[in-house]
Structure 1
Amino acid sequence: MPAPFTTSRPRRSCLYMPGANERALEKAKTIAADTLLLDLEDAVAPDAKVEARDRVCAAVKSGGYGKREIIIRMNGLDTTWGGDDLVAGVAAGPNGILAPKVSSAAEVHALNDDLTEAGASDDFALWIMIETPLSILNLKEIAACAETTRLTTFVMGTNDLAKDMRALMTPDRLAFQTHLTLAVTAAKAYGVTAIDGVYNDIKNAEGFEAECQQGRVMGFDGKTLIHPAQVEACNSVFSPSQADIAQAKDVIAAFADPENAGKGVLKVNGKMTEILHLVEAERLIEVDKAIQLLAQD
Structure 2
Amino acid sequence: MRKTSRPRRSVLYVPASNAKALAKIAGLAADAVIFDLEDAVAPEAKEDAREALRDYFLANPANPANPASKTERIIRINALASEWGAEDLLAARACKPDAILLPKVEIPQDVTGVTEILEETDASENIRLWAMIETPRGILNADEIAELGLRSTGRLDCFVVGTNDIAKETGTGMDGNRAYLVPWLMQIVLCAKAGKLDVIDGVYNDFADAAGFAVECGQGARMGFDGKTLIHPAQIDAANRAFSPDEAALAAARSIIEAFSLPENADKGAIALNGRMIERLHLANAEKMMAKAQMTGDKA
Distance 2:58 2:216 in 1: 35
The Cα of 1:106 is off from its aligned counterpart by: 1.4
- Pick the aligned partner of 1:76 from 70, 75, 79: 79
Task: Report the TM-score when normalising by structure 2.
Answer: 0.93
Distance 2:176 2:57 in 1: 36
Give aligned pairs, total: 290
Are the counterparts in 2 of residues 90 and 118 from structure 1 also a CA contact under 8 Å?
Answer: no
Q: Any idea what SS the aligned residue of 2:240 has?
A: helix
Q: Any idea what SS the aligned residue of 1:175 has?
A: coil
Q: Does 1:18 align with 2:21?
A: no
The Cα of 1:199 is off from its aligned counterpart by: 0.4
More displaced 10-residue stretch of structure 1: 169-178 or 135-144:
169-178
Which digits, 9 at most, give the CA deviation of each residue in 1:7-30, with x for residues without a partner? Answer: 221011000001111110011111
Are the counterparts in 1 of residues 96 and 124 from structure 2 also a CA contact under 8 Å?
Answer: no
> Could you tell me which amino acid in structure 1 is paired with residue 256 of structure 2?
V
Q: Any idea what SS the aligned residue of 1:70 has?
A: strand
Are the counterparts in 2 of residues 87 and 115 from structure 1 also a CA contact under 8 Å?
Answer: no
Q: Cα RMSD over matched residues?
A: 1.6
Aligned twin of 2:115: 112
Which digits, 9 at most, give the CA deviation of each residue in 1:236-262, with x for residues without a partner? Answer: 111111111111110011111123343
The Cα of 1:96 is off from its aligned counterpart by: 1.3
Gaps of 5+ in 2: 61-65
Q: Does 1:252 align with 2:254?
A: no
Distance 1:292 1:179 in 2: 33
Q: Any idea what SS the aligned residue of 2:157 has?
A: strand
Distance 1:119 1:210 in 2: 44
Are the counterparts in 2 of residues 87 and 118 from structure 1 also a CA contact under 8 Å?
Answer: no
Are the counterparts in 1 of residues 146 and 191 from structure 2 also a CA contact under 8 Å?
Answer: yes
Q: Any idea what SS the aligned residue of 2:181 has?
A: helix
Distance 1:68 1:34 in 2: 5
> Could you tell me which amino acid in structure 2 is paired with residue 259 of structure 1?
E
Aligned twin of 1:45: 42
Distance 2:3 2:233 in 1: 24
Equivalent positions of 1:94-113 (< 5 A) are 94-113=97-116
Aligned twin of 2:54: 57
Which digits, 9 at most, give the CA deviation of each residue in 1:73-117, with x for residues without a partner? Answer: 111111111111111111111111111011001111111112223
Are the counterparts in 2 of residues 104 and 141 from structure 1 also a CA contact under 8 Å?
Answer: yes
Aligned twin of 2:138: 135
Are the counterparts in 2 of residues 58 and 92 from structure 1 also a CA contact under 8 Å?
Answer: no
Task: Report the TM-score when normalising by structure 1.
Answer: 0.94
Aligned twin of 2:174: 169
Q: Does 1:190 align with 2:195?
A: yes
Q: Does 1:145 align with 2:142?
A: no
Aligned twin of 1:218: 223
Structure 1 segments (4+ residues) deviating >6 Å: none
Distance 1:267 1:201 in 2: 46
Identity %: 47
The Cα of 1:162 is off from its aligned counterpart by: 0.4
Q: Any idea what SS the aligned residue of 1:259 has?
A: helix
The Cα of 1:6 is off from its aligned counterpart by: 5.8
More displaced 10-residue stretch of structure 1: 142-151 or 256-265:
256-265
Which digits, 9 at most, give the CA deviation of each residue in 1:188-223, with x for residues without a partner? Answer: 111111011000011111111111111111111111
Q: Does 1:178 align with 2:178?
A: no
Q: Any idea what SS the aligned residue of 1:29 has?
A: helix
Which digits, 9 at most, give the CA deviation of each residue in 1:136-181, with x for residues without a partner? Answer: 1101111112214211110000000000001111221112111111
Which digits, 9 at most, give the CA deviation of each residue in 1:61-80, with x for residues without a partner? Answer: 21141310110111111111
Aligned twin of 1:283: 288
Are the counterparts in 2 of residues 61 and 93 from structure 1 also a CA contact under 8 Å?
Answer: no
Aligned twin of 2:63: none
> Could you tell me which amino acid in structure 2 is paired with residue 29 of structure 1?
A
Distance 2:139 2:76 in 1: 20
